Structure 1
């Protein structure tokens, strides 16, 4: 679990951030202790006084009894972010500056049109399945599994990275929102955190065998292209428990695990998670 820190401290002592100049930022105090990296695709954990309120993008965020809350920044999140901390009658605006990331872009020309244009029936099926996945991500429990240092879900070579994108014949495809781990079919997949299973589908059109696990405060993880599912919807699982096996189901060109991290519907970068916990445990 996270160590507790005094809440009102210089922000730069926890994360790297720019507020116009380093000197100004180093002197500026904030009613939030931050844990994480201020960049696109990042999961950010904050801590305020337990009786405070935090308003982000017009929404009051859930705060734990110890004052912890979570924010996630998408792949192309605006670099200037603002929130407000309310303590009694006092309101403190907080300005955050994210670093901009460069993503791997591949451009492929001369691809036959039928290869990049999906069948209408396939599109219809995929839309229905996407709605089911969306509903599974709306869980908003008060679990705090994400506070534990994350465990790698499978062993293998990193074959795909978050944020990468392909252009076919000049037309952009959807960016990749996960981290791919190449491994033989049947390789065990383990829960990186404890949690509750909210989706367990053996054969979705794009993602094949698919699991979603809720870890609390809108943080959830997804596991795609599984050859076998070892858990069911409603199961409470422990960190390190086997949840499935690597496969090549769905629209996959070879066996691998594509695992993803979301804060609600914001898609985050799993590769940034290990960098978070050395900060919060020191």
Structure 2
């Protein structure tokens, strides 16, 4: 049985709640909806989070992440090498999201026919399988850069209403520029999906290890292939408007397994990313 007598402790500069006999952990990163963090503990330990069991690597490291709608409190269970279990209570910062309306789309983009739906389902199965991959190399440790220059036209978490019909939230950042604009790997990684898909057009997944990956959509051309290892800053594609897109742009999504994340949280921005900002020279230039 777990000890339910909770005490507050500062771990890695982040306040978490843990039982009084808890095994020490350190968390690197911000506990906020749409973000991922590193959890550090004794090598050989296991984590259980959101019904997923994770083995810590030789450095005692694993990743966990929080969805767009993650509840304010989450529980992380640590199992030590000798089998002792402790619970750590995490407080997840909540965010506000905007509603984005897009009208005038062709009806086929809002209500696909049966043949199109069949292709969408098959595409979805391929993406689901790619998101199950857990590479053992921590490519993410090298940090992230912006993958393209252009105007921010869509942000993570916004609720899209297409021709008056609510759709699922927008799980990424949209960067708009001319067709053919170079797109670069935001971090080292391995290509785990390179496909032409009905909704997302030419689609590329770059896996950054430990379940963390970048998803690039609506590409004009993919310049790498499945299994390629890529380096941060290497050109991997060009911007386009393939799939369901109203104009040339890059949709940059990120995910931890099947949990969709906010790419803007990879950067220490001094304000919340918003439409109308511009990416130039790997920096965000604000409209004002």
CA distance in 1, matches of 2:133, 2:127: 11
Instruction: Classify 1:213/1:168 alpha carbon distance in 2 versus 1 (closer, same or farther; 3 Å).
Output: closer
**Structure 1 match to 2:152:** 158
Give the conservation status (yes or no) of the 8 Å contact 2:47–2:79: yes
Structure holding more helix per residue? 1
Residue by residue, what CA displacement relative to the aligned partner does 1:22-59 show, whole Å, maximum 9, x if unpaired? xxx9x998611111111111111111111222122343
SS in 1 for 2:112: coil
For 2:161, the equivalent position in structure 1 comes to 167
Deviations 1:159-194 (A, max 9, x none): 110011123576421111011111111111111111
Task: Work out the CA distance in 1 between the residues paired with 2:194 and 2:157.
Answer: 25
Question: Matched residue of 2:268: which SS?
Answer: helix
Match of 1:37 in 2: 30
Instruction: State yes or no: 1:14 paired with 2:18.
Output: no
Q: Does residue 1:234 correspond to 2:227, yes or no?
A: yes
User: Do the aligned partners of residues 240 and 251 (structure 1) sit closer, same or farther apart at CA in structure 2, a change above 3 Å counting?
Assistant: same
Given the alignment of the two structures, is residue 264 of structure 1 paired with residue 287 of structure 2, yes or no?
no
Task: Measure the CA separation in 1 of the matches of 2:180 and 2:162.
Answer: 32
User: Is 1:205 the counterpart of 2:205 in the alignment?
Assistant: no
Question: Structure 1: which 4+ aligned runs deviate by more than 4 Å?
Answer: 27-30, 107-115
SS in 2 for 1:192: coil
For 2:68, what is the secondary structure of its paired residue?
A: coil
Give a deviation string over 1:56-85, Cα, whole Å, max 9, x none: 234321311101100111111222110111
Contact 1:221 1:262 in 2 (8 A): yes
**What is the match of residue 181 of structure 1?**
175
TM-score, length of structure 2 as denominator length: 0.82
Cα distance in structure 1, aligned partners of 2:222 and 2:248: 15
2:114 paired with 1:120:
yes
The answer on 1:146 being equivalent to 2:163 is no
How far residue 253 of structure 1 moved from its aligned partner, in angstroms, is 0.8
CA RMSD of aligned residues (A): 2.6
Cα contact 1:11–1:30 (8 A) shared by 2: no
| Counterpart secondary structure, 2:170 | coil
The alignment partner of 2:169 has SS state of: coil
Q: What is the aligned length?
A: 260
Gaps (5+ residues) in structure 1? 1-8, 20-24, 277-282
Query: Does the aligned pair in 2 maintain the 1:36–1:275 contact within 8 Å?
Result: no
Moved more, 233-242 or 108-117: 108-117
Contact 2:109 2:244 survives alignment (8 Å): no
> 1:68 — aligned with what?
61
